[in-house]
A = this chain, B = another copy of it.
Amino acid sequence: MQFHHDYATCQSCAQRFNSVFCKAREEYVDAINEQKICNTYKKGQILFNEGAYPFGVYCINEGKIKLSHQGDDGKEQIIRLLKSGDVLGYRALLSGDRYGASAVALEDTKVCFIPKEIFVTVLKNDTGLAFEMMKLLSDELHKAEVKLTHLAQKPIRERLAETLLFIKETYGFEEDGITLNVRLSREEIANLVGTATESTIRLLSDFKKDGMVELDGKKIKILQHKLLLQTANLQD
């Protein structure tokens, strides 16, 4: 366990209006603030494990987290990438279920834990939050269904291009405006695309040859955004 310390208050949190709690009533934000437990996770540390029971939800103050599902043969499938302002752990809580996926920090990450009881109480009393929650769930469901279709119908080349664009959408670029603002291993990218690591490495090399990306270790620079969109068979 880590040393507990607060990132100021929920009321003044930089992510307050950037999260699902954006429309929560002041009094409830106060209530959550009093019960929250702040924590820091180092890169690679686990927030929770698939199969464990949820005791609350986690709100990311700063950092990046991957949510991954374990396939029957133990192979990782990354199902979501999370960033500052994102909340995680709500799916299992609302289903009354165990966690369906594990959460691992992709870099040093500041997180606030909101205990189940207060979260549910606020959800019961604040219609605005409940609707935001339903919207969040609906959006995630939609994304999952679209991904499902692409996984079933698109070749790997297109899926990789799409994944690179998805990473860009999620984490954006560094100051230079072209380097993806996250470091993922080739294996992690493969587990996001749903393919073998070697295939991902090979195709990234192809993309480089085609001048679409530049590779520098784990740094990936997007050189030809339009061409990548085209390769993914998507319209902007």
Contact = CB atoms under 8 A, between A and B. Distances in A.
Nearest to A192: B152
A137 B141 CA distance: 7
B94 A134 contact: yes
Q: How many A residues touch the partner, as a band?
A: 35 or more
Which of A96, A131, A137, A195 has most chain B Cβ within 10 Å? A137
Contacts of A233: 72
Interface stretch (A143-151, A180-188, A199-207, A208-216): A143-151
Contact of A153 (B77, B149, B150): B77
A144 B144 CA distance: 6
A96 B97 CA distance: 27
A77 B141 contact: no
Contact of A75 (B75, B141, B153): B153
A130 interface: yes
A147 B71 CA distance: 10
A69 interface: yes
A78 to B, nearest CB: 10
Interface in A117-131: 123-124, 127, 130-131
Which 10 pairs across A and B sit closest by C-beta, in order of nearness?
A152-B194, A137-B137, A144-B144, A95-B138, A77-B149, A94-B138, A71-B153, A94-B134, A151-B151, A69-B149
Interface of A: 69, 71-73, 75, 77, 79, 90-92, 94-97, 100-101, 123-124, 127, 130-131, 133-135, 137-142, 144-154, 194-195, 233-234
22 contacts: A69-B145, A69-B148, A71-B153, A71-B154, A72-B153, A72-B154, A72-B234, A73-B153, A77-B152, A79-B149, A90-B138, A91-B142, A92-B142, A96-B135, A100-B142, A123-B131, A123-B134, A130-B130, A130-B134, A137-B138, A151-B151, A151-B194
